[in-house]
Structure 1
Amino acid sequence: MVKSSDTGGVKPMTIIGRLVRERERLAGMTDDERALRAQYLKDQILSPNEPRNVPELTRELRNPIKRFYRYPLDNFQKMIEPKVGVDAAFHIRYFTGKILLGIFAVYCVTYYLKYNPNDWTRKGGFSIITSRPVVLPGDTNYPKLSDKSKPEHYASRGFENNTLNL
């Protein structure tokens, strides 16, 4: 049994040969090598109708879920292609999607931080702790403590603001 491979069982070989490096070409080339090099360079030129866009192949290779979430931006790209060109439309589509995902992520994090605080009523949640300002001797408010510095506020997690009748 043959293991699967990237080359389908055929030994990989380069079609460029040793002439890929400029120093090798300058060291001297035979007439056969010159002909092979010329053919190689000629083969690198694409025809005017390449790359080919085959919609059926694209549809076959993309699963339905991927086609579903790509549908809005694909239509947006098709709409702006005549105005800005194929490459610019692709780049606009790409960065529009990334920017929208970034905005969505910021909104999700903001929502979580706003509506899931870490307080005394629950075990989880997000806690944002700020440092006290530095007060040194000689400052105008040196001995003054902030309102949240009282001993009863230490580790209360907002219990002093409860609305329960205890």
Structure 2
Amino acid sequence: MTESQTGGVKPMAIAGRMVRERERLLGMSTEERAWRAQWIKDQRLARHEPVFVPELIQARLNPIRRFYRAPLDKIFTLLTPVLGHSKALFLRSLTGKFLMGFGGVYLTAYYFKYNSNDWTRKGGWRVLQSKAAVNKGDPGYPMVTNKKPADYATRGFQSSPI
């Protein structure tokens, strides 16, 4: 069962019909004018808003996520007075994504370089290359192979120094 964002109550617009300028120009009662004036006052933020609540982050992020976010959070906490809050937040998220992408590419390249599938091991990625397509009229057309039956599926054994 999925939970509703409104707690089972149908969502409604709090602006009412006064959100449209034409509706307001048709005429408003004194009660509607007072309601509209109060609604406009309620849209203004106080000087101390938005409020930063550290306990909210503590409750929202699990301990593992807080652990791996801590180094960049510390660096960009120090840079926030210099860069400004919005720029520091943007650069913090961009830096985190860049480092994760770079790490992923590096680990993939490392794995393919040092874990190839050859005759010395059972596992690893086996990378095969297809032969180039050669059609009639192309140079080297018949493309006859000069491999012997013993040359197939050696997985690099014949070129080993042993």
What TM-score, normalized by structure 1, do the two folds share? 0.73
Q: Who is 1:86 aligned against?
A: 85
Secondary structure of the structure 1 residue equivalent to 2:158: helix
Using the TM superposition, name which of 122-131 and 132-141 deviates more.
132-141
Q: Who is 1:100 aligned against?
A: 99
Q: Percent same amino acid at aligned positions?
A: 47
Q: Is 2:18–2:24's contact at 8 Å kept on the other side of the alignment?
A: no
| Cα distance between partner residues in 2 of 1:6 and 1:135 | 61
Q: How many residues align?
A: 159
Residue 38 of structure 1: how far off its partner (Å): 2.9
**What RMSD over aligned residues (CA atoms) do the two structures have, in Å?**
3.2
Residue 61 of structure 1: how far off its partner (Å): 4.6
Q: 1:158 aligns with which of 144, 149, 156?
A: 156
What TM-score, normalized by structure 2, do the two folds share? 0.74
Which string of whole-angstrom CA distances, capped at 9 and with x for unpartnered residues, describes residues 4-56 of structure 1?
86556777544222444x37636835223343233222211111110112334
| Cα distance between partner residues in 2 of 1:158 and 1:24 | 80
Which string of whole-angstrom CA distances, capped at 9 and with x for unpartnered residues, describes residues 111-163 of structure 1?
2211222234444321222222333444444455577x554333333233345
Which string of whole-angstrom CA distances, capped at 9 and with x for unpartnered residues, describes residues 88-108 of structure 1?
001111110000000111111
Secondary structure of the structure 1 residue equivalent to 2:77: helix
Change (3 A) 1:37 1:152: farther
Q: Who is 1:45 aligned against?
A: 44
Gapped regions of structure 1 (runs ≥ 5): none
Change (3 A) 1:29 1:132: farther
Residue 81 of structure 1: how far off its partner (Å): 1.1
Secondary structure of the structure 2 residue equivalent to 1:46: coil
Q: Who is 2:23 aligned against?
A: 25
Gapped regions of structure 2 (runs ≥ 5): none
